[in-house]
Structure 1
C-alpha cells in the first residue's frame, strides 16, 4: 500500500453540493485538510467574493490576511467566489477538448518552437518538468520517463514579436475567441489576487498593478491521455513531474478526475489536491517567492495518474484528464527584488534582483527538447 493510502483524509469546503468528510470543528474553519501523523497540512478554501465585494478596507484586509497566511504556510489555496462565470470555464474546457481531438498532423503544424515565445502545441513526451536546471540531466529524465501529457500554450495576442499559433477557424471553430476572452478573465483575477497580497503585506493596494499590466502570461491547455499500466511502471514516470511554477501565481482549473498532488514543505510528503467544484486552485510561483524573500512559499507539486481501471486480464488503464493552467507572470521587463518590508535585521535578503523575462526563458529553455 502506498504512503498516500495510509493517510487520514478530511475535507471541509463549505460549498453547496460538495460532500464534507471533516468533523464540525474542522468544517467551521473552511479547510481542506490532510492530517499526517499529527501534523496537519491544509489547503484552505477562501471565499474571494468577500474581497471583490468588500465595502470597507477592513473587509478587504480580512480576506487578504487569509490569503497571505495560507501562502505562507502551504503556498496553495482553493479560491471560491472568484468571479469567473462557470459557463465561461465550461466553454474553455469544451474548446480545449475539441482542440486536442484534432488530428496529430494538424496540431503538429502549430508546434512550440522557442522558449522566448512559449507558444504553440507541445506533443506528448516533449516536456519534462523538474526542479533541475541542468540541461543534460533533464534530457536524461525526458528520455527515461517523459511527462505523459500534451499541451497548447497561448500568450498575449497583441505581441509584435511573438505570435500565437492559432488553428484555422475551420479546424477549431470559436477556439481563438474563447481562449482570448478566457485569457483576459484570468488576467483580471490575477490583478485582484495580487492586490490582496499587497494589502496583506501592508503595501499600497495597487503596488503590483504596473508590474503586471503588460499581461506577459501563459495560458496552458492540458490534455493527459489515458495511460496503460505498463507505461506507468517506468521508473520515474508521471503525468507531470514534481516542480514549482516560475512566475507570480498559477490559476489551475481542474476537471473531476484529479491527480494534482502538493508537497508538504515540512515533511516532503505529497498530498492530493482533490478537485472541489466551483473553485480554482491558486499557488505561489518562484518569482513571487523571491519577491517576498521566501515568506510566501513556491511549493513543489506534481500530477500523478488516478486509479487504474482493468480493461483485460493482463492490462489496466487510467482515465484521461483535462486541466487548464493560467501562469501569471510579472512584466518581462520587471526587476524582481526583495519587497521593502520582507527583510531586516533578523531576515537577510536571500536572492539578488532578477529580470522576469530572463528568469522564465532560462527555466523554459531547459525544460523542452
Structure 2
C-alpha cells in the first residue's frame, strides 16, 4: 500500500498545456498521481473573470437571506427533475438529515414527451426553478455553469491522456445534451437542524465524472482516500476550485480512479457556509464502458467499490436517479412512487 496522504494537491490549470495545445507531461504526472492516490485536488488558473467567484458566493448568500416564503416558491417537491429549493434539513445522506438548504439546477430543457417505462431517469430532463424577483441568481449561476462546463471538459480530457487514452476518449457520452448539475448551498451552524448533529452533509461519493466545487472561507470539507482510515481536511484557497472524481470514472477504470468518499462538517453555531458544487456529467442515456488501461496502470486498478446498499451502475441516468431518490424522499414519493420502497423513501430502483 502506498504512503497515506495527508494533504490535497494543488494544480495550476493555466500551466497545463504546451504552446502546441498538448498537455505538459509534468502536469499529467501530477494529475494522475492526485487522481489515483487521493481522488481530490484543487485547481487554480481555470479562467474565471476577476472577482467572479466572490460575486457568485455573495449572490448565493443574498438569496438565502430572502424570506422563507420566497424560497419555498421554488420548492423542489413540485419538480420531477428534483430542481429548485430543498428545505433546510430535508435532504438525506446515509439516512440522516443534512444541515443545509440549497437550490439544484441543470440544463434548461423541455421535459421529454415520451419516456419509456424502463428508462425513468429520462424524466430528469426538464426546467429549472428560479426566483423571478431576484434574476441575479439565475444569471450568476448559469454564467458559472457555462464556465464550469469548459473546465470540466478540459480536466476530463487531461485525465484521459494521463491514463493512456486519447484526449477525446470520453467526448461521446457528453455529446448533445450533457446532464450536468449544479447546486447553490447554504450550510447552517451546528444546532440549527438538531437531527443533523454536526453533519453538514454525510459521507458519500459523487455520481458523475468530475465535480468542481467553489467553497467560501469557512471550510469543513473532509475526504477519505482509498485505503486510509484518517480524514484529510480540504483547506479553502481563495479563487481555487476543489476537484474530485465521480462514480462514472471509477466504473470506467475498474477502480484505478476512485470516487473518493467525502463529507462536510456543519459550521460552528452561528456561522454560515456557502458553496457551489458543479457536477460535470454525461447525457442521461449514456452507458459507460470500461476502458483499456496500459498494463502498468491496470495492475493498480482496485476494482469498483462494493457497497450492496449503493451499487454503482454503468448507466449514468440510472445511477443518478438512484441517488436522487435516496436523497430527496418526499420528492421521490410524489413523482416516482413506483420506484421507492415503503419506508423513508428508500430507492427500490
CA contact 1:305–1:318 (8 Å) conserved in 2: no
Q: CA deviation at 1:279?
A: 1.1
Task: Give unpaired runs (5+ residues) of structure 2.
Answer: 113-125, 306-311, 330-349
- Do the aligned partners of residues 287 and 184 (structure 1) sit closer, same or farther apart at CA in structure 2, a change above 3 Å counting? same
Q: Distance in 2 between matches of 1:64 and 1:286?
A: 21
Partner-residue secondary structure (3-state), 1:69: helix
Q: Distance in 2 between matches of 1:358 and 1:40?
A: 33
Asked if 1:105 corresponds to 2:65, the answer is no
Q: CA deviation at 1:276?
A: 1.2
Asked if 1:178 corresponds to 2:140, the answer is yes
Q: What residue number does 2:51 align with?
A: 87
CA contact 1:119–1:153 (8 Å) conserved in 2: yes
Q: What residue number does 2:318 align with?
A: 358
Question: Residue by residue, what CA displacement relative to the aligned partner does 1:225-271 show, whole Å, maximum 9, x if unpaired?
Answer: 2334x866x68641111111111111010101111111143332222
- Do the aligned partners of residues 217 and 349 (structure 1) sit closer, same or farther apart at CA in structure 2, a change above 3 Å counting? same
- Do the aligned partners of residues 353 and 274 (structure 1) sit closer, same or farther apart at CA in structure 2, a change above 3 Å counting? closer
Asked if 1:147 corresponds to 2:98, the answer is yes
Q: Distance in 2 between matches of 1:61 and 1:304?
A: 36
CA contact 2:250–2:304 (8 Å) conserved in 1: no
Q: CA deviation at 1:218?
A: 0.8
Partner-residue secondary structure (3-state), 2:199: coil
Q: Distance in 2 between matches of 1:117 and 1:331?
A: 14
Partner-residue secondary structure (3-state), 1:357: helix
CA contact 1:116–1:361 (8 Å) conserved in 2: no
Task: Give unpaired runs (5+ residues) of structure 1.
Answer: 1-37, 131-137, 309-316
Q: What residue number does 1:368 align with?
A: 328
CA contact 2:12–2:44 (8 Å) conserved in 1: yes
Q: Distance in 1 between matches of 2:68 and 2:103?
A: 13
Q: What residue number does 1:199 align with?
A: 161
Pick aligned residue for 2:183 from 220, 232, 235: 220
Q: Distance in 2 between matches of 1:58 and 1:190?
A: 17
Q: Distance in 1 between matches of 2:246 and 2:280?
A: 9
CA contact 2:187–2:200 (8 Å) conserved in 1: yes
The correspondence of residues 214-363 of structure 1 with structure 2, limited to 5 A, is 214-228=177-191, 237-306=198-267, 308=268, 317-341=269-293, 350=304, 354-363=314-323
Partner-residue secondary structure (3-state), 2:51: helix
Q: What residue number does 2:8 align with?
A: 43
Two-structure CA RMSD over aligned residues (Å): 2.6
Q: Distance in 2 between matches of 1:151 and 1:172?
A: 16
- Do the aligned partners of residues 181 and 366 (structure 1) sit closer, same or farther apart at CA in structure 2, a change above 3 Å counting? same
Q: CA deviation at 1:345?
A: 8.7
CA contact 2:251–2:314 (8 Å) conserved in 1: no
- Do the aligned partners of residues 129 and 303 (structure 1) sit closer, same or farther apart at CA in structure 2, a change above 3 Å counting? same
- Do the aligned partners of residues 114 and 334 (structure 1) sit closer, same or farther apart at CA in structure 2, a change above 3 Å counting? farther
Q: CA deviation at 1:322?
A: 0.6
Q: Distance in 1 between matches of 2:197 and 2:93?
A: 12
Asked which structure has the greater CA Rg, the reply is 1
The correspondence of residues 21-170 of structure 1 with structure 2, limited to 5 A, is 39-51=4-16, 53-56=17-20, 59-113=23-77, 117-130=81-94, 138=95, 141=96, 146-161=97-112, 162-168=126-132
